[in-house]
Amino acid sequence: MSRVGKETITIPTGVEVSVHSDSVTVKGAKGELSSPLFKDITVEQEGATLSVLCADLETKKTKSFYGLARMLIANNIIGVTTGFEKKLELRGVGYRAQSQGSSLNLSLGFSHPVVYALPDGVAAAVDKSIITVSGIDKQKVGQVAAEIRAFRPPEPYKGKGVRYVGEYVASKEGKKA
């Protein structure tokens, strides 16, 4: 039995949750998100709490979807109330970033600038060498941060590149004469 799935979800004030047969929609101050419901999984709303129920706990696939469905709904509630953010750090001489509306202009040591178009619902703010990616959908924010990091991942010799704030990069020793 999933320990994550058994926990109830409390609905904060100012958040509306509507449960349908195949999805759960959450509306809040920052926007609206929807999560799918998987086969044999139902959601019951009792006042200000949500309970995720599983009809068949015998199969491994259903048990894994049980915890997943609960976390998707909980993340949607957090997203529409406070939102999510990831911070990236640029390390290297001449590495810069500029936010231009719905795109991010990156100078990462290539012969050309890298222009990354931000998807809907995700915003990026730049402060010196720190890029803050924020939005209400946790999956989109993490995916955008991973795509920006993938342009120039940190290299192990000098540590240059794009990394998450607080990320540890193991450094290697260079060639010896």
The Cα angle at residue 7 between residues 4 and 8, in degrees rounded to 5: 140
Both tokens of 140, joined, read 């989109």
Whole-model pTM? 0.89
Q: What is the distance in angstroms between the CA of the first residue and the CA of the last residue of the chain?
A: 59
Helices (H) then strands (E): counts for the chain: 3, 13
What's the pLDDT score for residue 176?
Answer: 83
Look at residue 164 and tell me whether its pLDDT is greater than 60.
Answer: yes
Give the pLDDT band (50/70/90) at residue 56.
Answer: confident
Given a cut of 60, whether residue 103 has pLDDT beyond it is yes
Task: Determine the average pLDDT of the residues in 125-146.
Answer: 95
Range 149-164 average pLDDT: 94
Q: Over 90: is that where the pLDDT of 101 sits?
A: no
Strand partners, 116: 104
Task: Check whether 1 has a pLDDT greater than 60.
Answer: no
What is the residue-wise DSSP string for 56-115?
--SSHHHHHHHHHHHHHHHHHHHHHHT-EEEEEEEESTT-EEEEETTEEEEE-SSSS-EE
What's the mean pLDDT in 116-143? 95
pLDDT (mean) for 109-138? 94
pLDDT band at 81 (very low <50, low <70, confident <90, very high): very high
pLDDT, residue 6, reads 84
Look at residue 113 in the predicted model and tell me its pLDDT: 94
Nearest to 84 by CA among 145, 26, 135: 135
Nearest Cα residue to 98 out of 116, 111, 76: 116
pLDDT at 3 over 90: no
Residue that is written with structure tokens 């607080």 in the block: 166
What pLDDT digit, counting tens, does each position of 57-75 carry?
A: 778 888 888 889 999 999 9
Assess whether pLDDT exceeds 70 at residue 78: yes
List of residues 6+ apart from 3 with CB closer than 8 A: 67
Mean pLDDT of the chain: 91
Instruction: Give yes or no for a contact between 52 and 117, defined as CB atoms under 8 angstroms apart.
Output: no
